[in-house]
Amino acid sequence: MNQHIEWRLPRSPRSAGRARAFLAGQAKDWKLPDDTTETAVLLLSELVTNACRHARVPPGREVWTRCVLRRDGVLRIEVSDASDVLPRPRAAAPDEESGRGLALVEALADAWGAYPRACGIGKTVWFEVGAGVGGDGVRDHRGCAALEGVEEEPMSETTRSSRHLSGMRGARYGEVLLISPSEDGGLKAAVYNTFGLNDCPLDKWNALDARALAEQFQVPMVFLNGPRFWTIDEVTTYAWGDVEKFDGLEARWAAEVRIPPDIDVSGASARKYYVETTVARDTEYVLAAGRPVYALVGPGERMYVLQAYSHTVDGSQTIDSLATLGDRLRLPEGWRFRVGTPDEDLHVRTADNKATVVQDELENTYMLHVR
């Protein structure tokens, strides 16, 4: 199976040296050939140097390095930073002391490329060295010259694995949505979730300033979605992203939301309720047998299972009050609220790496159960 390790480095002149030392030590543990190690250490140093020296990003942003040793012996290294500017090789003048980093990568790597990060802001630059590269050396991501207009996968297949979390029902979390224009002229949001990192402490959550965060992360708008409380029991996540700090509150990239044009993200109207929204994520929720399941049933008997209730509108909601939630909702014609207790575990899975969700007017969130 694939082996991988990750490091987070500050944007400091010393980080390239630290990255070299980390990789050299890991290469010994993985028993890599000396020539592979020497090449990888050199190229990693160049990419980390570029990320620290040239990427124009807000203060405090880190450089993320991921190293993957594949089953076929190929070593893949990815360096991510918060700059959206994709690198382009250039010819350095003979008297220049810098500017040769990407030229070295292009000359020494078996394959390399760069792509915008779908699971976070910024970009990832990657290269591969070692046995098993055929053809022109380009594998599952396109090189820089082929990137324009191409939508990359949120995470390389070499680094995808599952994470399982349980004991979730009633647990508090918060979401930070970084909203920006999408490629089709609409809006999209990178969703960062605190669950698994902290319990969304109220003092830190209430201190967050959406306008200040929007300026810090260089996006037009930030939406603070919470506090929220899970109504599922377990989740298996098959794709996830990096951890960011929002005024000291850690949250991990969890999904990308495409915001429909009829949803008012400003909150000035009620048009965002009972409207389907597509969320790019790959998850499987489990609601345990013998425990209540709350759901909306819409036109065509489409069932949306409650995944979380919110304190954004009504801070008095509790897990026990959900039994009578249907009495409080102003449901559109053709909709109804339902409570049931399944005899077997209920599995609610995304379809084609996408979830379809709706919210009620209390901003409780429901996911379509595809049966």
pLDDT by residue (tens digit) across 278-287? 998 889 999 9
- Give me the mean pLDDT over the 111-136 stretch: 71
Express each pLDDT in 100-109 by its tens digit.
568 889 899 9
User: Does the pLDDT of residue 124 top 80, yes or no?
Assistant: yes
Domain map (residue ranges) of the chain: 3-159, 163-368
Express each pLDDT in 164-176 by its tens digit.
888 899 999 999 9
Residue 147 and residue 134: Cα distance in Å, rounded?
A: 21
CA dihedral 304, 308, 311, 314 (to 10 degrees): 30
Number of alpha carbons in the 13 Å side-chain half-sphere of residue 115: 22
User: Does the pLDDT of residue 94 top 80, yes or no?
Assistant: no
Considering only CA atoms, which of 117, 362, 148, 89 is closest in space to residue 256? 117
User: Does the pLDDT of residue 232 top 80, yes or no?
Assistant: yes
Considering only CA atoms, which of 225, 365, 226, 254 is closest in space to residue 304? 365
- Give me the mean pLDDT over the 334-351 stretch: 95
- Give me the mean pLDDT over the 178-183 stretch: 87
What is the predicted pLDDT for the residue at 6? 84
Residue 362 and residue 111: Cα distance in Å, rounded?
A: 50
Q: Give percent of the chain above pLDDT 70.
A: 81
Confidence of residue 76 (pLDDT cuts 50, 70, 90): very high
Q: For residues 152 and 284, which has the higher predicted lDDT (pLDDT)?
A: 284
Query: What angle do helix axes 34-53 and 15-30 make, rounded to 10 degrees?
Result: 150
What is the predicted pLDDT for the residue at 151? 31
In degrees and rounded to multiples of 5, residue 263 shows phi and psi of: -95, 130
User: What is the pTM assigned to this prediction?
Assistant: 0.61
Residue 362 and residue 20: Cα distance in Å, rounded?
A: 51
Cβ–Cβ < 8 Å for 98, 44: no
Which numeric CATH code is attached to 3-159? Answer: 3.30.565.10
Single-letter residue type at 272: K
Confidence of residue 222 (pLDDT cuts 50, 70, 90): very high
| CA dihedral (292, 295, 297, 302) positive or negative | negative
Express each pLDDT in 16-53 by its tens digit.
898 999 999 999 989 999 999 999 999 999 999 988 87
Considering only CA atoms, which of 79, 89, 187, 70 is closest in space to residue 132? 70
Residue 43 and residue 19: Cα distance in Å, rounded?
A: 11
Considering only CA atoms, which of 189, 72, 236 is closest in space to residue 140? 72
Q: For residues 57 and 272, which has the higher predicted lDDT (pLDDT)?
A: 272
Single-letter residue type at 132: G
Chain-centroid distance, C-alpha 258: 14
